[in-house]
Amino acid sequence: MNAYAGKILRVDLTTGRISSESTTKYNRSWLGGSGLSQWILYNEVKPDTTAYSPDNRLIIGTGPLNGTLAPGASRVSADSKNPLTSGVGSSNADGHFASELKFAGYDHIVFQGKARRPVYLWIHDGRVEIKDAIHLWGKTTWETDEIIKHELGDDNTQVLCIGPAGENISRGACIIVNRGRAFGRCGLGGVMGSKNLKAVAARGRGFIQVADPSRFIRMVDELRKRFNDESLQRLIKTGTAGVIEYKQKMCGIPYKNFQHLVLPDELFKKIDIDDMQDTYRLRNVSYMACPRPCSRYYWMDQGPYADLRTEGFQLEALVDFMGKLAVEDPSFVIKANAYCNQLGLDIDSVAGAIGWAMECYQRGIINVNDTDGLKLEWGDTSVILELIRKIAFREGFGNLLAEGCAHAAKLLGRKSECYAMHIKGQDLYEVIRSAIGWGLGTCVSTRGGGHTTGAPTIETTRTVDPELAAKVYGVTTINDPLAFEGKAKLVWYFERLHRINNALGICHFVTTWSSPILLGFPEIAELYSAATGWETTEEDLKEAAARMLNVEKAFNILHANFGRKDDYPPPRCFEEPIPTGPFAGFKLEKKKWDNLLDEYYELNNWDKKTGFPHRKCLEELGLKEIADDLERAGKIGEDN
């Protein structure tokens, strides 16, 4: 089969049964990656199944461009019911796993059931074995990666695995691949742990072919030239952290659990991204088919964390630890990021829960009697490291924080809920108040926050040529983060682009998400057409993405009872004016957000009152069964 490996692997961990089915059952409608996985989830996981139940599925998915020279085709998705929100769980990681899995003969792996004891899955050239993992239980992700490669005797084996956090079903546990890449959001490490599945190892000596090699390579060559543009080189030098200055001035950075949306000058001066590169960077690192090597290996050869060697931090880690938790030492960001990776914890979840706890401590809602004697002072690095460890092992106060801030606040009570910054139950990383498109994309995201399923990063990271932006994105307000106008349309665009990227296996950073000169729908459609031999237009891709979005939306409605009420920012965003910095005094107006949601629902053909899709919208996308399901549940769009 062109572009696809051709088979979907099914593993029932309860019975040990291994089977496979043809990818053709799904790929014309659902393309691959997360799109295909979400369709399987919708059909096979019932609304009353909990995320940690053996009946839940965990699906690892590649796309048709993985394994080829298509720029940035190194992404792999993991999808499951989300233990933080009870709705859609979808996460995406870089690394070498996607191409290796396809070379081994499979596009997707669907896990169900629960193994009686810890196991890992070994896939090699079409052969599949469930292997004992008792000796790996308790090991960090780095140790697990090393031991598995050693025992399988092949360094080219690619491993994705969980650490102690996933084993202990810490709600914010993630899955790690290539030691430093994470399926970070949505707590999928805990789902893996609940199945007693420690790791998946893949090694393949097969190949991927495309339908029209000369057409495909012509497009690849043309696209790769675009990456020489001067405006794209900063990312290579500094990674995403290089936009910290723009964020500070133009969109805001959460500080002390979002109490402020700007870093204090004194703290901001301590962050010299270029100096950090000179001091700690060992080399840049990237993954299959990447023309834009933006990650880095760091070697700490001095200071309190000397001798740490790790794949490095991106902007998110900087904001989580220096922003949300007010740490003053930039080198701690590298340490904390690595420590979370080793234990298998999502940094956003960790910083969300600890940030909430520190604000509660600041306000006297909790004290040392609640925290195992720890003084939760802002920026205390040894306390933060100890809390990270406790969260991973669900030890003492860490057992509460392991629930994530939303669940933890409910359990604690004491009016701590208003300091739990989350969307749909998942800890928040993004600022909402000072970047409206970014905020909207985050709030309506089906997976519960996050900025990679609809939020326009370009609004918050750089100024772009307005004419070009208008042509590509169809809006004229992209350089004005505080404008409401055009932002619903912008989110509409990126919700579709992100779904196509996640379905085909390409990185957002090679697309118009990052720059209007990079790959948009027309270029991606050409790559997909040449690769598969199925002529596909820009409009076809947008329709496929809408189909995926509506499946996710229906999953959220049926499983988590989400609707319009869940697409709002945390209440304090409407109640507290921004206290300091360039946006001081600005407060989000409820009425304006209402209008923004109306416009966004209208663009999607969803009911403005409830946020539910209309039957007509679903039927036009070929989703009649979903319309029937929603109607039976009494949750289908009514007006219109």
Partner 1 sequence: MFETMDCTGCRTCEIGCSFHHRGVFSSSISSIEIKNNPKDLTFSIVLYGEASNGHLTCDGCQGLQEPFCIKYCNVLARNGLEAILNEFVRK
Residue ranges in contact with partner 1 by CB under 8 A: 67-69, 74, 96, 99-100, 103, 145-146, 155-156, 179, 204-210, 213, 217, 224, 227-228, 233, 236, 282-293, 297, 299, 309, 311
In the complex, minimum distance from the CB of residue 293 to partner 1, in angstroms, rounded to a whole number: 4
Count CA atoms closer than 13 A to 108's CA, side-chain side: 35
Q: What's phi and psi for 240, nearest 5 deg?
A: -65, -20
Tokens (6 digits) for 495:
């919700």
Q: Which residues pair with 112 in a beta bridge?
A: 12
Could you tell me if 322 and 330 are in contact, meaning their C-beta atoms sit under 8 angstroms apart? yes
Other C-beta atoms closer than 10 Å to the C-beta of 537 total 13
CA 566 to chain centre: 19
Could you tell me if 178 and 158 are in contact, meaning their C-beta atoms sit under 8 angstroms apart? yes
In the complex, minimum distance from the CB of residue 609 to partner 1, in angstroms, rounded to a whole number: 49
Round to whole Å and give the CA distance between 500 and 639.
29
Q: Which is nearer to partner 1, 97 or 600 (CB)?
A: 97
Q: Which is nearer to partner 1, 180 or 398 (CB)?
A: 180
Q: Which is nearer to partner 1, 155 or 278 (CB)?
A: 155
**Tokens 């109490």 map to which residue?**
259
Round to whole Å and give the CA distance between 333 and 530.
42
Q: Which is nearer to partner 1, 284 or 561 (CB)?
A: 284
With H, G, I as helix, E, B as strand and everything else as coil, classify residue 411. Answer: helix
Round to whole Å and give the CA distance between 430 and 324.
10
In the complex, minimum distance from the CB of residue 220 to partner 1, in angstroms, rounded to a whole number: 8
In the complex, minimum distance from the CB of residue 305 to partner 1, in angstroms, rounded to a whole number: 15
Q: Which is nearer to partner 1, 286 or 610 (CB)?
A: 286
Identify which of 315, 280, 313 has the alpha carbon closest to the alpha carbon of residue 299.
280
In the complex, minimum distance from the CB of residue 328 to partner 1, in angstroms, rounded to a whole number: 27
Round to whole Å and give the CA distance between 243 and 257.
20
In the complex, minimum distance from the CB of residue 398 to partner 1, in angstroms, rounded to a whole number: 29
Q: Which is nearer to partner 1, 204 or 450 (CB)?
A: 204
Q: Which is nearer to partner 1, 115 or 519 (CB)?
A: 519
Identify which of 25, 62, 28 has the alpha carbon closest to the alpha carbon of residue 40.
25
In the complex, minimum distance from the CB of residue 82 to partner 1, in angstroms, rounded to a whole number: 31
In the complex, minimum distance from the CB of residue 145 to partner 1, in angstroms, rounded to a whole number: 7
Q: Which is nearer to partner 1, 282 or 385 (CB)?
A: 282
In the complex, minimum distance from the CB of residue 235 to partner 1, in angstroms, rounded to a whole number: 11
Burial 565-587 (b: 16+ CB within 10 A, else e): ebbbbbebbbeeebeebebeeee
Q: Which residues pair with 538 in a beta bridge?
A: none
CA 467 to chain centre: 30
Q: Which is nearer to partner 1, 273 or 405 (CB)?
A: 273
Q: Which is nearer to partner 1, 99 or 452 (CB)?
A: 99
In the complex, minimum distance from the CB of residue 63 to partner 1, in angstroms, rounded to a whole number: 14
**Tokens 């306390």 map to which residue?**
383
With H, G, I as helix, E, B as strand and everything else as coil, classify residue 381. Answer: helix
